[in-house]
Structure 1
Amino acid sequence: MRPSEIAALRAADCRLPEEGWGELILAGSRPEVGSGGTDDGESYEQRGLKRRARRATRPVPIPPVLTAMLREHIEAYGTAEDGRLFRAAKGGRVRSTEYCELWDAAREKALSEAEAATPLADVPYSLRHAGVSLWINSGVDPVEVARRAGHSLTVLFRFYAKILRGQQSLANQLIEKGLSGDT
């Protein structure tokens, strides 16, 4: 998910079964734009999904571990008055400065000093890139990866083509399997 999609995520958008895969029905975003950039003086805007019709939705399957984490989060913290899962202490939007400070602290704790000195996972958006990269490297069809990420295939291949390099051996194995009729 994009950070603005996470900010807009509501409990009603989540299908969180007790076991197995869940699903998020992404329906909007709340990008942080600064109070000078909005008509109502808020620091964010309510928008539809990026590059989609205003009321379009995007269903995204989520693995059992994330399903369980979201269930636990809702149980422990509840939701904002409008149903959003993630909110600041007084119910407002979690500001990017707040989650970036937490991200920096988590990075220092999780990474070695040498790793922390590199651009590795330097911003929270790195999680999105890591997720999309994992799907690609796991062999998920690029059309499905693009759909889940909310990308076009053109965007997916433009930004993630480097991940596909060096997989000639795997490609050869798949082609041999196809040629032998073992599909």
Structure 2
Amino acid sequence: MLLNNNVFKILSEFSGDYSKKIYGGKIARKLKMNQKTVSNILNSLEKQNILKYSTEGKNKYYFLNKLNIQVPDLLKIIEIARKNEFIKKYSNIKELFVELEKRSSGILVIFGSYANLTNNEKSDLDIFLIGKIKEFNELEEKYHIKINLIKLNKDKFNKEDIFIKEVIKNHIILEGVEKFIELIW
């Protein structure tokens, strides 16, 4: 499978909620791409068994093929690229993210206004953790950002929980990409 820029952008649309169903017209509008190009790529991904579709009315709704063992690997690539783009966007506090990664083990995910790219100077940095993290108070002082940590044990993780659904819907994985994908896959 060739993962060119357009294919990558389209597959990225499925990276929030891995069970999301999207139709081509919505992707074309959101990405400002030609409808025919999007349609051709979606059809190609479906032929490669990466996507499946269901028809509702006149629309074909595409979704990730959970039976294809290659799809989680594609998601890893997409999630890592999203993280890199996120860190590039917030290059002024890149070292904060690096330090948080170093201090954590397990799954560390940014959610909330930073993940949505809607934060302002008063926004907290919301992080979700399944695992362990060392003390980070001095990072809050150094970067003048309040860090709001939500910690959960893996056995308490429930995809149907409203909070977890929000994290799944819009997240940036700093640490534990493979584990996070396995958990919500």
TM-score, normalised via structure 2 length: 0.29
Q: If each structure's strand is expressed as a fraction of its own residues, which one has the higher value?
A: 2
Bigger radius of gyration: 1
Per chain length, whose mean CA-contact separation is higher, i.e. which structure has more relative contact order (CA < 8 Å, sep 6+)? 2
TM-score, normalised via structure 1 length: 0.29
